[in-house]
């Protein structure tokens, strides 16, 4: 099974995370994969408006 | 002449001061291979990797040798450092900062009194004995006292066989082979022609005059041959230094790189041989981070512009200890030019282990680390700091230098050629699940590649075992192994490119 398949066939973030970890993916990558796939994660660099 | 205060033994002070602090993951067996040339010039303690701990120890010992004094509240002067204060202050620092190793015996646990007293006794005696030896290298003194005798000055529980073998022997002071043999590293010595003659050794040397040498030679023809009375005894420090070389057989690439990083042009590594090339330069001394809490800085600084000064620590507890550790490691590796100061907080974006916040216009806002410590938390701290440097210090302030700044072109070429980036690029071509594709696109953004490479650069340059282990954890992905962080071999050109950039900027 591939990452595509795990993410595509999981019902929610928790299930996907559990399956990725069970497959041996390290925790940091598993969290980010789940974040991008299920939680509108945009990465670790946040952009905010400039203060006038 | 009346002395109004204690006069420092300058040769001893100089000896300690000339030692570069080397926080090392090398264990004793590896150091045995590196041998005298470097270990005599490095201030280290087996297994201790915390550079600031070692720097503190070295500064405290320097205070002892210089007889440093402070004034109390009543204005009375007192000696600021002694053996008991040395032990207590380093124990406190080690406890507060979780410093190891914490082996099962008193001598393998860096927080135990016996280990710290051994460091104190050995380093003080080493500096002083070198000082005596160095003073004895003056030609006038060599003419009057050309020989020395190896003698026991203190009873010990179990004398070394080596000590018994050489006890009472008289030899020329310039018989380098004999004196380094007496202090042989193969038999627990330090490999130098001065004391101490092993840990907790009760042996020492005493001068023998030309007259006494002549009398001894008259009684013993074999000794007369060894003392060669007709040949003047000459200084040997130059000869000793020039002969310093050591085998690096069995030392890992990381270990060799660490030696090169710390000693720089003072050593030359060719094949499996490292040679001592010149006098040590100023040791690395770290800056304390700016701390927005109750903890006080630990050591003074010689770094001109450390990264730690760009962060105002607004975290508590374990997060504060971790933030200090992150910045201590970074400060030990490089300077950063001038960074604006931003807060370091625990306010991370949901789903991340660390966050760097900037404005759309390019102003850095904050750096955050997860309150809950993950198994790769240090790497995450380096990674976010990499974003901060990318935006605010590496190129033109306000733009990510990793994206297009010409100074980073070699770095861009280097990362593009790595197996890791090529594997991620190949995976992106075939990925179909939208979240997976977004993740792979994210991994290939220049700023993310830079932050990952910076984190690995810091970890590898530090040589700390726990940081290298974090890299190994992050390489673990059965679907795309060795992609989030590069293998050590794959990373070599990237590391060199970063070194070139940092050197060019005067940060290394």
pLDDT digits (tens, 9 = 90+) for B421-479: 999 999 999 999 999 999 999 999 999 999 999 999 999 998 888 899 999 999 999 99
Reported confidence tier of residue B407, pLDDT bands at 50, 70, 90: very high
Phi first, then psi, for residue B259 (nearest 5°) are -60, -45
- CA-nearest residue to B428 within chain A is A4
Residues 6+ apart with CB under 8 A from B283: B17, B19, B20, B21, B43, B55, B58
3 state DSSP class of B62: helix
Of A39, A50, A51, the CB nearest to B350: A39
For residue B376, list chain A residues with Cβ-Cβ distance below 8 A.
26-28
CB pairs under 8 A between A and B: 120
Residues 6+ apart with CB under 8 A from B452: B383, B386, B484, B485
pLDDT at site B19: 60
Closest CA to B91 of B113, B75, B119, B71: B113
What DSSP designation does B407 have? G
Phi first, then psi, for residue B227 (nearest 5°) are -80, -20
Strands (E), B20-154: 20-21, 42-43, 69-71, 77-79, 147-152
ipTM beyond cut 0.90: yes
Chain B nearest CA to A20, separation (Å): 9
Average pLDDT over residues B226-232: 89
CB contact under 8 A, A45 and B484: no
pLDDT at B2 over 70: no
Query: By a Cβ cutoff of 8 Å, what residues of chain B touch chain A?
Result: 349-361, 363, 365, 374-376, 380, 383-384, 387, 431-436, 438-439, 442, 445, 447-448, 451, 473-480, 484
The fraction of chain B above a pLDDT of 90, given in percent, is 40
Task: Report the predicted TM-score, pTM, of the whole model to 2 decimal places.
Answer: 0.52
pLDDT at A52 over 70: no
pLDDT at B419 over 80: yes
pLDDT at site B133: 82
Residues 6+ apart with CB under 8 A from B159: B152, B202
- Two tokens at B167? 């006890």
- Two tokens at B214? 């002549």
CB contact under 8 A, B363 and A4: no
Q: How far is CA B279 from CA B143, B234, B274, B455, in A?
A: 27, 21, 15, 32
pLDDT at site B38: 55
pLDDT at site B171: 95
Q: How far apart are CA B26 and CA B49, in angstroms?
A: 9
User: Mean pLDDT lowest for which of A4-8, B305-309, B434-438?
Assistant: B305-309
The fraction of chain B above a pLDDT of 70, given in percent, is 78
CB contact under 8 A, A50 and B363: yes
Higher pLDDT, B119 or B42: B119
CB contact under 8 A, A24 and B448: no
Average pLDDT over residues A20-32: 95
Residue B401 has a CB neighbour count (10 Å cut-off) of 23
Q: How far apart are CA B500 and CA B406, in angstroms?
A: 13
pLDDT at B292 over 70: no
pLDDT at site B216: 93
pLDDT at B26 over 60: no
pLDDT at site B77: 78
Peptide bond into B500 cis (omega under 30): no
For residue A17, list chain B residues with Cβ-Cβ distance below 8 A.
none
Q: What is the mean pLDDT of chain B?
A: 81
Q: How far is CA B433 from CA B119, B424, B438, in A?
A: 58, 15, 9
Best B372, B400, B477 residue to mutate vs chain A (most A CBs within 10 Å): B477
pLDDT at B10 over 90: no
Q: How far is CA B290 from CA A26, B306, B328, B450, in A?
A: 33, 10, 11, 25
pLDDT at site B285: 32
pLDDT at site B241: 66
pLDDT at B248 over 90: no
| Cα angle: B337, vertex B341, B346; to 5 degrees | 125
Which 3-state string (H, E, C) describes B232-285? CCCCCHHHHHHCCEEECCCCCHHHHHHHHHHHHHHEEEECCEEEECCCCCCCCC
Higher pLDDT, B469 or B282: B469
Which 3-state string (H, E, C) describes B414-472? HHHCCHHHHHHHHHHHHCCCHHHHHHHHHHCCHHHHHHHHHHHHHHHHHCCHHHHHHHH
pLDDT at site B28: 53
Residue B222 has a CB neighbour count (10 Å cut-off) of 8
pLDDT at site B489: 94
B73-132 pLDDT per residue, tens: 787 778 888 899 999 999 998 888 888 778 778 778 888 898 899 888 888 888 788 778
Closest CA to B187 of B214, B159, B212, B226: B159
Reported confidence tier of residue B4, pLDDT bands at 50, 70, 90: very low
Reported confidence tier of residue A11, pLDDT bands at 50, 70, 90: very high
pLDDT at site B349: 84
Average pLDDT over residues B197-223: 90
pLDDT at site B243: 62
Best A36, A37, A39, A40 residue to mutate vs chain B (most B CBs within 10 Å): A36
User: Mean pLDDT lowest for which of A18-22, B33-37, B428-432?
Assistant: B33-37
For residue A46, list chain B residues with Cβ-Cβ distance below 8 A.
349, 355-358
Reported confidence tier of residue B280, pLDDT bands at 50, 70, 90: very low
Residue B158 has a CB neighbour count (10 Å cut-off) of 6
Reported confidence tier of residue B294, pLDDT bands at 50, 70, 90: very low
């Amino acid at each position: 099974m591939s990452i595509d398949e795990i993410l595509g066939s999981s019902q929610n973030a928790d299930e996907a995370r559990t399956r990725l970890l069970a497959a041996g993916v390290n925790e940091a990558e598993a969290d980010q994969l789940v974040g991008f796939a299920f939680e509108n994660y945009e990465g670790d660099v946040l952009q905010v408006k400039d203060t006038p | 002449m009346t002395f109004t205060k204690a006069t420092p033994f300058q040769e001893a002070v100089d000896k300690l001061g000339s030692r570069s602090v080397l926080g090392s993951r090398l264990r004793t067996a590896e150091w045995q291979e590196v041998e005298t040339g470097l270990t005599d010039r490095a201030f280290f303690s087996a297994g201790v990797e915390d550079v600031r701990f070692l720097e503190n120890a070295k500064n405290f010992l320097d205070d002892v040798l210089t007889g440093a004094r402070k004034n109390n509240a009543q204005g009375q002067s007192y000696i600021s450092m002694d053996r008991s204060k040395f032990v207590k202050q380093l124990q406190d620092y080690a406890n507060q900062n979780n410093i190891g190793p914490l082996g099962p015996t008193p001598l393998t646990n860096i927080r135990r009194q016996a280990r710290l007293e051994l460091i104190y006794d050995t380093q003080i005696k080493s500096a002083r004995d070198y000082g005596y030896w160095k003073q004895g290298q003056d030609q006038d003194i060599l003419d009057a006292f050309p020989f020395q005798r190896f003698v026991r000055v203190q009873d010990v529980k179990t004398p070394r066989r080596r000590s018994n073998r050489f006890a009472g022997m008289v030899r020329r002071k310039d018989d380098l082979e004999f004196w380094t043999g007496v202090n042989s590293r193969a038999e627990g010595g330090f490999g130098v022609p001065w004391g101490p003659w092993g840990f907790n050794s009760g042996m020492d040397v005493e001068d023998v005059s030309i007259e006494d040498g002549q009398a001894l030679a008259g009684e013993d023809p074999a000794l007369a041959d060894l003392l060669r009375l007709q040949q003047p005894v000459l200084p040997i420090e130059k000869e000793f230094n020039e002969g310093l070389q050591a085998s690096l057989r069995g030392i890992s690439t990381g270990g060799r790189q660490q030696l090169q990083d710390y000693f720089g042009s003072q050593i030359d590594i060719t094949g499996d041989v490292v040679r001592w090339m010149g006098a040590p330069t100023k040791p690395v001394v770290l800056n304390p981070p700016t701390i927005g809490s109750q903890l006080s800085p630990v050591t003074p600084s010689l770094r001109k512009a450390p990264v730690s000064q760009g962060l105002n620590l607004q975290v508590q507890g374990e997060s504060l200890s971790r933030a200090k550790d992150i910045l201590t490691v970074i400060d030990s590796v490089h300077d950063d030019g001038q960074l604006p100061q931003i807060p370091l907080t625990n306010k991370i974006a949901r789903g991340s282990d660390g966050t760097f916040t900037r404005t759309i216009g390019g102003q850095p806002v904050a750096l955050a680390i997860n309150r809950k410590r993950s198994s790769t938390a240090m790497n995450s701290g380096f990674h976010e700091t990499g974003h901060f440097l990318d935006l605010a210090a590496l190129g033109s302030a306000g733009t990510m230098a990793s994206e297009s700044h010409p100074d980073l072109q070699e770095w861009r070429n280097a990362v593009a050629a790595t197996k890791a980036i090529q594997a991620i690029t190949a995976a992106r071509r075939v990925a179909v699940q939208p979240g997976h594709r977004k993740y792979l696109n994210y991994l290939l953004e220049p700023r993310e590649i830079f932050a990952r490479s910076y984190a690995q650069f810091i970890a590898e340059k530090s040589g700390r075992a726990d940081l290298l282990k974090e890299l190994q954890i992050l390489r673990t992905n059965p679907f795309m192994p060795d992609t989030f962080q590069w293998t050590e071999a794959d990373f070599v050109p990237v590391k060199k490119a970063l070194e070139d950039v940092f050197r060019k900027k005067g940060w290394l």
